[in-house]
Amino acid sequence: MSEQIKKFMYINRRAPYGTIYAWESLEVVLIGAAFDQDVHVAFIDDGVYQLLKGQDTSAVDMKNFSPTYQALGDYDVTKLYVEKESLEERGLTLEDLMPLTYEDEDDDWAEKDSIRLMSRAELADIMDEQDILFSF
Amino acid sequence: MTTLHTVNKSPFEKSSMDSCLAYAKQGSSVLLYEDAIYGAIKGTAVADKVAAMGGVNFYVLGPDLKARGVSEDKVVDGIGIVDYAEFVTLAAENDKVQAWV
Amino acid sequence: MKFAIQVNEGPYQHQAADSAYQFTKAVLEAGHEIMRVFFYHDGVNNGTNLTTPPQDDRNIVNRWSELGKKHDLDLVVCVAAAQRRGIVDEGEMKRNGKSAQNIADGFRISGLGQLVEAGIQSDRLVVFGD
């Protein structure tokens, strides 16, 4: 690739199923992974609900797309930021979220957590460094 | 880097303006447009939040004020009233645009 | 400066489609370039030629087509989002065995990669949504 690598951040602020934004946002992240950019994905506000464990849509006849988050590591999307304040406001902890991991090729393929718990202030700093912000 | 944050939802209905204010850093700009113009009006429960954000530049989109029957003298002092051309200038002058949709 | 625009909402329901249009027009008037307008989520509904608003209202779809023609804009409707919502060009009509096509003048249907590419190649991405 001759073009410079940009810092991309996908910002997820919406809960799944009530609207399609979460799912269609995930589709962009997957397609975007093929472009060799520096990808960051943020889950803030109701976006943290996208990562809840135990999603089962069988009784509402909608597609359960939550397993797809677990594929992100295979696509080299390994920087998933969850905002601490948003979790706490919703009475949640990391234990309530799906474990998402990737294999670090620079560290003998050690399995590592993709989810990084960030305070709002830390995440604001990371957002500030981005070149492009996608909102859905 | 500097950011132009855009908010288009009424702060009385949605929390996007609160989220934006929590993330807006010193030196960044916030543009209130569409239903977010109601967040730029004097004497409301949210006007103090805007006033408390030192170091952040606030703007409101004039055409959206006018469409909703809100006269410019109702806008909180210190919030700049801009048109679409100035919206474009703000987007170009900042390093990026963050839409709090 | 090169701008890319992302439109997440359909016409009439949300002002986002109007704001995106007004902003796009202002970008062009200021002498900047619009490298692409990408329609995603319900935004794909900006690209159906079956829209028939009352005479005394603006025609949001035609407005895009006319602006696109005047400035040779790349108006791209996301294929996956379009298929879900029934926006079809001739190729998609044949491929999916549909009875008609309804993509409006000046729009084209393409993949999500076009949005990512717009992010890479533009200087500014501006998103309009709900």
- pLDDT at position C69 is 98
Number of domains making up chain C: 1
CATH number, domain of B86, equals 3.40.1260.10
Residue A2 has pLDDT above 60, yes or no: no
Encode burial over C90-109: b for 16+ CB neighbours within 10 A, e otherwise: eebeeeeeeeeebbbebbeb
CATH number, domain of C17, equals 3.40.1260.10
Q: Note down the domain range covering C91.
A: 2-128
Question: What proportion of chain A, given as a percentage, has pLDDT over 90?
Answer: 97
Residue C2 has pLDDT above 50, yes or no: yes
- pLDDT at position A4 is 79
Strands of the sheet with C107-110, listed across from one edge:
C107-110, C75-78, C33-39, C2-7, C124-128
Residue C6 at interface with chain A, using a CB cutoff of 8 Å? yes
Enzyme catalytic residues of C: 78
Cβ separation C127–B92 shorter than 8 A: no
Q: What is the pLDDT of residues C59-72, one digit of tens each?
A: 999 999 999 999 99
What residues does each domain of chain A span?
A: 7-135
Residue B67 has pLDDT above 50, yes or no: yes
**Residues contacting residue B58 through CB under 8 Å, at least 6 positions apart:** B29, B30, B32, B40, B50, B76, B78, B79, B80
Q: Which residues in chain C are contacts of A133 at CB distance < 8 A?
A: 125, 127
Nearest to C120 among A24, A27, A35 (CB): A35
- pLDDT at position C7 is 98
Average pLDDT over every residue of C109-129: 98
CATH of segment(s) A7-135: 3.40.1260.10
Residue A28 at interface with chain B, using a CB cutoff of 8 Å? no
Does residue A85 contact residue A119 with C-beta atoms inside 8 Å? Answer: yes
- Which residues of chain A from 37 to 56 reach within 8 Å of chain B, CB to CB? 44-45
Average pLDDT over every residue of A20-25: 97
Q: Note down the domain range covering B51.
A: 3-99
CA distances (Å), A103 to each of A38, B64, C69, in order?
17, 49, 48
User: Measured between CA atoms, how close is B76 to chain C, in angstroms?
Assistant: 23
User: Measured between CA atoms, how close is A6 to chain C, in angstroms?
Assistant: 7
Considering the entire predicted model, what is its pTM? 0.97
Residue A132 has pLDDT above 70, yes or no: yes
- pLDDT at position A1 is 45
Residue C125 at interface with chain B, using a CB cutoff of 8 Å? yes
Does residue B7 contact residue B31 with C-beta atoms inside 8 Å? Answer: yes
Quick one: pLDDT band at residue A3, thresholds 50, 70, 90? low
Number of domains making up chain B: 1
Q: What is the pLDDT of residues B11-63, one digit of tens each?
A: 999 999 999 999 999 999 999 999 999 999 999 999 999 989 989 999 999 99
- pLDDT at position B51 is 87
Cβ separation C16–B34 shorter than 8 A: yes
CB pairs under 8 A between B and C: 51
Cβ separation A130–B99 shorter than 8 A: no
Residue A75 at interface with chain C, using a CB cutoff of 8 Å? no
Nearest to A13 among B3, B19, B97 (CB): B19
